[in-house]
Structures are given as C-alpha cells and as structure tokens.
Structure 1
Amino acid sequence: MNRRDFLKLLGYSGLASTLPSFNAAQANATPPLHTGKVLLTIHLGGGWDHSSFADPRQNVLINKWAATQPAGGVGNLRFAPLGENAAFFNKYYSYIMAVNGIVMFTNGHDVAARTRHTGSLVEGLPSTNELYAAAVGANLPMPFVRQGGFEGSVGIMPFTALPDESLLRTLANPNFDRGTKTYYSNAHIDLVHKYASQRLTKLQNQPDNLPRWQRKLEELQRARQGSVAMEALATALPTSLDTLDLTGARRNGIRELHMFLVLAAAGLTATGSFGTGGWDSHGNHDANHINTLTDLTRLLDYTWTKANSMGLGDRLIVHVTSDVGRTPSYNSTNGKDHWSLGGDIIMAKNAPWANRIVGISGANHEQIKINPNTLQRDNTNGIYLQTKHLHRALRELLGIQNHPLAQRYDLKAEALPLFNPAVASGITV
C-alpha cells in the first residue's frame, strides 16, 4: 500500500482528523495507548420504561404483569419480570447501580437525549463520552468511537465512526495482502520506515517552509504516528469478529461491540457510544419492551462476558441511558407515552458502589426530592436528582472532574454521593 492510499484510509476512518498535531521531535516517539477506564455508553433510542426494568411497581395500572407476577429481587435491587430480566439481574446484580427517578424537565426526544448524555438541557456542553475522550485520549488514534446514540458535539473531540471491518484489518497491518501473505519482508519495511522518518524530520526542520507545506508535513506525521499505533491493533484483532450472542443467535450489535472491545483492549480508544432502537412504545408497550429488553440484556451479557475474557472487564464502565421516560399509565392502545422522569443503570465489575439503588421515584413515578447527603427522601431539604448530578458524579468516577475542560464545561451541579457505597436510596416501593 502506498502512502497516498494509506492517508486515504486514515481519512475514511476519521483518524487523520482526530489525531493530535506532532512535530519533528516526536517523529520516533512511541504512540500512547490507553490503559485507564473505558467508558461505553449504550443509548436506548425512543425512551425506555424503567418500570419494566430496574424500577418496577406492583400495580396493574403501571405494570400489567403485576396482575399475575411479583416483581423480582436480588441483592439490593428489584427488577420487572419481563423478557430475560431475571437471568440478567441474577448474573450481574453485583455490577449494577440503578439510578431511579431522574428528573429531566422535558418529554421531547431530542432535548431529553441531550440532557441524558451531557447533563444539560441546552446546547453547549459536551457529552461525557466526548469530554472523557478529550481529557484522557487526545493522543489516541480513535479516542471516541461511535456506532450510534447521541450525535451532539462541541468540537473538543469529535467522534470517529466505527470503522468497517475490512478497513480496520488493513489499518492493523497494511503490509498484508488480504491476510494471506505480505507484500514486503519486515526487514525491508523497517528500513523504509527508518529512512522515511529521517527524511520527514529533515523536511520539517527546513527554515523556509511555507505554512501550508508545514501543515501538510504535520498531516503526514500524524498519519505515520497513527500507523505505528495500529500495530497494537494487529496483536489484539482476532481472525474473525463475533456475530452471535451467548445463546448462539445472530444479533445486531454483537459484531460492533466486539470491534469496540478489541479497539479498547488494544489501547486505541477510551470511550464508545452505541445505540439500539425500538423503545418508543406508544402502542402495545409490554410486547415491544419484552423484545427490546431481551435484545439489551443479551447485548450486555455478551459485552461483559467478552470483556472479561479479554482482560478488559476490570476497566470497563457501562452507562445505559435513553432519552424520554415513559408514562406510568397505559394509553388506549396499551402503549405508554412520553414522560419527563426516567432511570439509568451504571455497570462495573467489582465496583463497591454497585448492587445499589440511588434516586427515588414515587408510587406513581412522580418527582421525589432526596437529601443531597443521605440520598433518602427529603421533602424539606431535598433536591431533585437530575442528569447534571449524574454526569458530575460520572466525571468524578472517571477521574476527570478537575481537568481544565471539565472546569470549562462546568455542570453547575451539587455534588451527590451517587458512587459512595456507604449511602443509598434503597428500595422505596
């Protein structure tokens, strides 16, 4: 593959635009690889019903299943007996923190998606994915990859679309011809790289370089630095990507999640955003949610099982969120409409803050104030749990709360001990 073709590939994958600038002194530097926490956000497009998952009600007006089945419970959590929820919670309750009763002050899809990903109803703040990528991954080839979910960006670290698999394999090792043989011997490739690097350094150090020419040289340097980083991908990339879930069924999203985990294990990315649809259940709510919940729990089960097998489980944090919530009551077509109250889950392996419920929604999924210190119901001195509180806490969990970019994009939110294992809201209904 010649240099022009490789630069084109970098452009198609987004690498050329997201790699940081380099100078001649960095020509032979070893590219940084991410070894810290990996944030995976899964967006449930259309608005999921948390009473059908981690905040159930034993009330037939809210949950029709309550007429014949009790809500399930394991550890300190409760769950709705729909889909494969029981198997999922029994397997992963020690990973899960349920965040209930999030007040969003909107029931519109777009604005709700914004606030649930950024902590703000108005434009101008980055998603936590974008902020985390900019804070810890600015020098990575693909700091923030996206398959779906929230699209907004403030420009501090635009996402890279998840690459096509064939393109990814070419990037991992451009010297391979369809994975069966090499174009050139490794010794010859090393020699070419050595002299190409020396030549580029000499060109960059010319005192009479015009600004436009200097920028082009820097683009070439970024591409070469990215190609070196891709060698880590060649080691981590398996001969084939998974397409089946753990039951052996072909499932959309498995291949893409496997690709993300490979990129994360190789140290090439710090965060990813994924999305599933079908949650806007204005009609036939229970049947629709059974299907989407089964899809979600199987994707999560695959993600954690694969991450653990790859040695990535202890670094992974999974945030499952949505846009609008769903009304506590059913409409005339057995559906549920938009609601401005919802819930998320945060998952991590061996987390002391897991197996907890934080936040409270009332008997009919109404807004409830909680004490900012104890997280217990407090109608006098309490505050409403909002997305800004959750995202401030996520910034702290990720270790970026004091980063200059986090200070620039201040959420102006009270500090709540959402990840403090010593306090919790607990089961309140």
Structure 2
Amino acid sequence: MLKLRFGNRAGFCDGVSRRNFLQLGALTLGGTLGGLTLGQLYAAEAANGLGSSNKAIINVHLSGGPSHQDMFDLKPEAASEFRGEFRPISTNVSGMDICEHFPQLATMADKFAIIRSLIGSTGAHSNYQTHSAYDQRDLRNAGGRPAMGSVVNKLQGGSANGAPAFVSYNGGSPGYLGAVHKPYEPMGGSLRLNDSLTSARLDDRTNLLGQLDTIRRNMDTSGQMAALDSFTQRAVGVVTSGAVADALDSNKTSPKDQDRYGKEGTSFLRARRLVEAGVRVVTFGWGGWDTHSGNFTSLKRQLPRLDQGLSALLTDLHDRGLEKDVTVVVWGEFGRTPRVNMSAGRDHWPQVMAAFLAGGGMKMGQVIGSTTKNAEYAKDRPIQFQEVFATLYRNLGIDTGRAQLIDTAGRPQYLLDRRDPISELV
C-alpha cells in the first residue's frame, strides 16, 4: 500500500483534513475521488500547451535564519565582538572570499553568485517569503500570495512524463490559486504498483472514479473535488511515470553518490534527481540555523555539511549539462545580529541578509551588493526579495511583466510588484 500526502497539516475550508492520505492499493485509489480522469487532465494540459519546459528551480530554505556574516559576508577587520570566530578564505574568483568552512565551494565560486545586500525580510520564522516573495499578510483576504511552485503549476503545469510541477518538503501555500495548486509532498514508502495492478488497470479505475463522481464534482462549489482531481492525477503520474518514483527511491542511490553528497546531503541529491525527472520546482528546508546561543559551535557542524552537499549538487548540474536549465537558490528568513551576544550566539536581524544563487544560465562568479563595516545594513546595491523572484521566474521562462493570475475576488494580480530581474545576473 502506498500513502502519499499533499499539503500542510491544517484543514481545508470545508473541514476535510489535509492530513488525509491518498492511497494506491490493489483495489482502489483510496478515498472518494472524482472529476477529471488522468487522461482528461493530460489532454487539457496538452490543449493549453503545458508540460513542454525543462527549466527548473531548486529552492533551499535554511530554516531559522542563517548567519550571513559567518558564511558569505565575513568582516575580518571588524572588532572581535562583531567578526566572530571564522576567517574568510579566497575562492577561484579574485576578490570573492567566503567562510573557511566552505573549502569545496571555494574551488567553484565561478559557478555561483552571492547577494550580500538582500533586504526586506519580514522578520518572521517562516518560509512564506522564500516561497512567495511576500509577507503573509499580503492579500490575506483573498487567500494570500501563492508560492512560486504553485504559480508554476498554474502557468506551466506538470511535465509531459507525469512529473508534478511542484514537489515540496517544506510546505508552500497555493494562496489565492486554491488547493488544486498545492505542492506534492512525498511521505516515503514504495512508489511502485503491486504485481496485480498494471498502469492500464490503474488508469481504468481512475476513469471509473471520474465517471461515478461527475455529478458530485459538478455540484461542488468549494473547489475540494477539483483539488482531489489534481491530487489523483499527480499521484498516478508519480507512480506510473517511473522517473519520479525512481528519484524518490533512496534505494536507487548509488554508494558513490551517497559518499559524494554525504549523509546530510541527501536532500540535495534527491532534488537533483527530481528536476532530472521533470519536476519544475523542488523546495526543501535544510538544517537548523536559529543560533541564539553557541552560534559558532553549531556552524562548525553545519557549514561543512552544507559545503559538501551544495558543492556536489553544483558539480552534478554542471557535469550533466543542466547548469543553464536549473537554478539553485539558498537562503533563509533573515540574517543574524552583527554583535555576538553573551551566549556566543547571534539573534534575529531582518535588516539585511545574504542569498546564494547558481545555474539558470545566469552570470556567475560575482558578489552583488555590500554591507556596512559590521554587516549590519546594506551599503551598496540593496536587493529586494521580489527582485530575486523576478530573476527566478525569468529563468523559468515566465514574463513577470505580462503574466497575471486571477484571485478569489476575480481581480487580476501580477506575480510581483517589482518585476525587473537582477540586472547583474541576466
């Protein structure tokens, strides 16, 4: 029996729990599902020109707020209570220094860019902003702003091979787009049909469910049946496509890959496999970065692991010819205080932070922006979250100057208020 979970723990507006599971077993697609059949959904996608792009985003959220001045914006000339314990090291790009605990990344700085002057953090312990570019309060009455993966699901749809558009291991609200565009959240298990259930029989059963539930779906005004239609399509697509199932199967990982990425780098490897399988947006949270105390002790463990997993990912994307198609972004919800506190930690600091970008055909090997002497404020070239998102959408082939979506009140909404990508990167 396979169990797949979609969405977060909270309930839908009509009381159906998002913790309900979609079950694929020997007899049925679990629960009462209805509406469009798998074939009908694929036909609708094809009619709308969906499923043709191979561009992808890997969005890595460093949960808790990573210490920007101990990773990518070290201040060796600052007083000891500001500069901390770590020292910068040179990279293979002249004048571009990063933390000493990133020795592997230092050898490939020509393959990434660092933004040192990212501003506009809402200061909340939440990944909402790194999913959507907005504050959680924006358009709240209309359902909120959708995550990038949900926007991509709406505008571009899943891949032709059945891969879902949006796979997330750390949530992501569909906002005003509705539950149909929630992320697919794998929950483990064997993603294989049992011996008595072929792909053809599974599709027949999906068709039958669609026929039985057509009346109920047509009467439904909550959108829940449409959401379940999409969940059915994604679940069946994952199981029958093979490629996505293989990407999610840890048993398919070679010992060589496991060794290169490291035990803590599994999420980076899985993300690479998912975008290779056709997923357009993959998001996951990595590590714990809320270092109010013991900041340097914690980072001495965290940074080498991040160095290994992230450098392995960049190497693979380059070696497999994916560096122009796949964009990697690594960031958190805010930076950390310039002054080290009495517990050898750094507290929350939303005034400025750093972001790491790679791939997507962008101009790499550069640092964008700078901060003041203690890394407390943006000094040159402040960059807003929405500018980063405009760049990410551009890399996916989505024109933020033209693309609009309709919210729950029937109003057209641009994807972003700031719609120009970062000029230095494009």
Contact 1:45 1:323 in 2 (8 A): yes
Q: Number of residue pairs matched?
A: 376
Paired residue for 1:54, among 69, 72, 76?
A: 72
Task: Give the equivalent residue in structure 1 for 2:403.
Answer: 403
The whole-number CA distance in structure 2 between the counterparts of 1:18 and 1:326 is: 49
Q: Percent identity?
A: 19
Q: Give 1:154 deviation, angstroms.
A: 0.5
Q: Give 1:79 deviation, angstroms.
A: 3.3
Paired residue for 1:328, among 319, 338, 357?
A: 338
Q: CA separation of 1:96/1:215 partners in 2, compared to 1, >3 Å: closer, same or farther?
A: farther
Q: Give 1:300 deviation, angstroms.
A: 1.3
- 1:261 equivalent in alignment to 2:272: yes
Instruction: Name stretches of at least 5 consecutive residues in structure 2 with no aligned partner.
Output: 3-21, 139-143, 407-411
- SS of the residue aligned with 2:263? coil
Alignment-mate amino acid for residue 298 of structure 1: Q
Alignment-mate amino acid for residue 160 of structure 1: Y
Paired residue for 1:114, among 124, 128, 153?
A: 128
Instruction: Name stretches of at least 5 consecutive residues in structure 1 with no aligned partner.
Output: 178-182, 376-383, 422-429
Task: Give the equivalent residue in structure 2 for 1:81.
Answer: 99
- 1:363 equivalent in alignment to 2:368: no
Larger Rg: 1
Contact 1:82 1:290 in 2 (8 A): no
CA RMSD of aligned residues (A): 4.4
How do residues 257-296 of structure 1 correspond to structure 2 at under 5 angstroms?
257-267=268-278, 269-296=279-306
How do residues 5-404 of structure 1 correspond to structure 2 at under 5 angstroms?
5-6=24-25, 23=40, 26=43, 33=51, 35-58=53-76, 59=78, 60-65=80-85, 69-76=87-94, 78-83=96-101, 85-90=102-107, 92-104=108-120, 106-110=122-126, 113-121=127-135, 122-123=137-138, 124-138=144-158, 140-148=162-170, 151-154=172-175, 156=177, 157-166=181-190, 168=191, 170=192, 174=193, 176-177=194-195, 183=196, 196=204, 211-212=215-216, 223=232, 227=236, 230-233=239-242, 237=246, 240-242=251-253, 247=259, 251-254=263-266, 256-267=267-278, 269-307=279-317, 312-340=322-350, 341-348=352-359, 351-368=361-378, 370=380, 375=381, 384-400=382-398, 401=400, 402-404=402-404
The whole-number CA distance in structure 1 between the counterparts of 2:42 and 2:164 is: 22
The whole-number CA distance in structure 1 between the counterparts of 2:294 and 2:263 is: 23
Q: CA separation of 1:213/1:306 partners in 2, compared to 1, >3 Å: closer, same or farther?
A: same
The whole-number CA distance in structure 1 between the counterparts of 2:229 and 2:300 is: 50
Q: When the two structures are superposed, what TM-score results if normalisation uses the length of structure 1? A: 0.71
Contact 1:38 1:316 in 2 (8 A): yes
The whole-number CA distance in structure 2 between the counterparts of 1:397 and 1:304 is: 17
Q: Give 1:321 deviation, angstroms.
A: 1.0
The whole-number CA distance in structure 2 between the counterparts of 1:141 and 1:214 is: 27
Q: Give 1:420 deviation, angstroms.
A: 3.9
Contact 1:62 1:329 in 2 (8 A): yes
- SS of the residue aligned with 1:346? strand
Q: Over residues 126-165 of structure 1, what are the superposed CA-to-partner deviations in whole Å (9 max), with x where a residue is unaligned?
A: 23233223222257552211112x5443153211112414
